[in-house]
Amino acid sequence: MSAGPVLSVRDLTVSVARDEGWRPIVDGVSFDLQAGQILGLVGESGSGKSMTCRALMRLLPGARLAITGGSIRLGEEELTALDEAAMRKVRGGQIGMIFQNPSSHLDPVMTIGAQIAETIRFHQGASRREAMRQAIEVLRQVGIPDPTARAGSYPHEFSGGMRQRAMIAVALACQPKVLIADEPTTALDVTVQAQILRLLLDLRDSKGLSIIFITHDLGVVSQTCDSIAVMYGGRLAELGPKRDIIRAARHPYTAGLIRCQPGAAATGTYLETIPGQPPTVDAMPSGCRFHPRCPRAGETCREHQPAFISVDLGHRAACHFPEGPGQEAAR
Ligand SMILES: Nc1ncnc2c1ncn2[C@@H]1O[C@H](COP(=O)(O)OP(=O)(O)OP(=O)(O)O)[C@@H](O)[C@H]1O
Ligand SMILES: [Mg+2]
């Protein structure tokens, strides 16, 4: 643990090219991922979760998108400075990524075993036979029954949960240090979802894997993650240890998200929702981006963007009037 973070992101900015110039979609995002840690990245649809993670992989969807600022350090390596050939070695080698919809990221005309073996050959230069042997081993590790036989199956021959396991196997083939999981369980039914979460926890424990876990579901986050990062309008609203965030959220947006979770409200009371809509890239509010929806907003919030300041040990929030001990009266 003394070696410092596995991944260190500072002021990461991703922008889209508009006629009038670059417009930030992800704006000044900073966080560290420690070895063996699971960081949950949450926020409403469009808040920039996927874009942040695609930027880490330097896989931005579309020519009009670019990293326009900040730094991404993986150990000693500055990823923003690597050329495409070097980046290809990082992807799937040191950082693996799994997606919400495995079908669109698995090759339909190649057996699962061959897809994993190909990744191993590319990254490790293993022989065909050795790569297939390792591929079968990875399939076993992700809980595919009878992996030797299943390596010869095509993606459509797998169930949804098994396809997601296969996708995880592809991502893990080269023993990455970091796994980015973008809503890996959203498309699955609840039982399979729980199995996949269990698998990710086991992999963290057995391999010391560090995981960035993107989800809409704070319930999943509180079962799985060590830390939570909350995004709003392309920026981080709050970041800290899971327990502090769930029990004592300081940013009114986080507090609102927690109150909106099914199960958060006592039986018989209705579920709160945060009134209003999240902002869009081309119409970001002035000052704090959350101010139009915020019950605590004052004049300052309309005019000045709050700094992402430390509110407790390892806990940061971007709010002029954070909630907290003794703050209830202010609401
Ligand atoms: N190819 C693109 N070109 C330009 N803007 C895009 C593109 N893809 C997404 N965006 C915009 O970038 C912002 C962030 O999108 P992103 O996909 O990162 O959100 P998200 O938090 O992952 O949402 P969701 O929970 O729906 O997956 C959104 O405002 C979206 O409209
Ligand atoms: Mg997304």
Predicted pLDDT at 331? 40
Q: Tens place of pLDDT for every residue, the chain, 331 residues?
A: 457 899 999 999 999 999 999 999 999 999 999 999 999 999 989 999 999 999 999 999 888 999 999 999 999 999 999 999 999 999 989 999 998 777 778 999 999 999 999 999 999 889 999 999 999 999 999 999 999 999 999 999 999 889 989 999 999 998 899 999 998 888 788 888 888 889 999 999 998 999 999 988 888 888 899 999 999 999 999 999 999 999 999 999 999 998 887 765 554 555 567 889 999 998 999 999 999 999 999 999 999 999 999 999 999 999 999 998 645 434 4
Q: From ligand 2's centre to the CA of 269, what distance in Å? A: 31
pTM value is 0.92
Predicted pLDDT at 104? 79
Q: From ligand 1's centre to the CA of 24, what distance in Å? A: 11
**Is-contact 70 13, C-beta < 8 A?**
yes
Per-residue DSSP letters for 112-171? HHHHHHHHHHHHH---HHHHHHHHHHHHHHTT-SSHHHHTTS-GGGS-HHHHHHHHHHHH
| Ligand 1 pocket list (CB less than 6 A) | 16, 25, 43, 45-51, 61-62, 65, 216, 280-281
**Is-contact 136 114, C-beta < 8 A?**
no
- Residue 14 φ then ψ, to 5°: -120, 130
Per-residue DSSP letters for 77-103? EEGGG--HHHHHHHBTTTEEEE-S-GG
Predicted pLDDT at 177? 94
Predicted pLDDT at 328? 45
**Is-contact 174 90, C-beta < 8 A?**
no
Instruction: Give the residue, out of 41, 50, 221, with the most ligand 1 atoms within 8 A of its beta carbon, to mutate for a pocket test.
Output: 50
Token pair belonging to 287: 């000052």
**Is-contact 169 42, C-beta < 8 A?**
no
Q: From ligand 2's centre to the CA of 99, what distance in Å? A: 9
Instruction: Give the residue, out of 12, 15, 25, with the most ligand 1 atoms within 8 A of its beta carbon, to mutate for a pocket test.
Output: 25
Give nearest CA residue, ligand 1 atom 17: 50
Q: From ligand 2's centre to the CA of 230, what distance in Å? A: 13
| Collapsed DSSP state (helix, strand, coil) of residue 29 | strand
Predicted pLDDT at 5? 95
| Collapsed DSSP state (helix, strand, coil) of residue 207 | helix
Of the candidates 138, 88, 143, the one whose C-alpha atom is nearest the C-alpha of residue 113 is 138
Superfamily of structural domain 7-94+176-325: P-loop containing nucleotide triphosphate hydrolases (3.40.50.300)
Q: From ligand 2's centre to the CA of 267, what distance in Å? A: 31
Structural domain spans, the chain:
7-94+176-325
- What is the number of the ligand closest to the CA of 284? 1
Strand locations in the chain (E)? 7-18, 21-33, 38-42, 65-74, 77-78, 95-98, 178-182, 210-214, 227-232, 235-241, 309-312, 315-317
Give nearest CA residue, ligand 1 atom 30: 46
Predicted pLDDT at 160? 87
- What is the number of the ligand closest to the CA of 181? 2
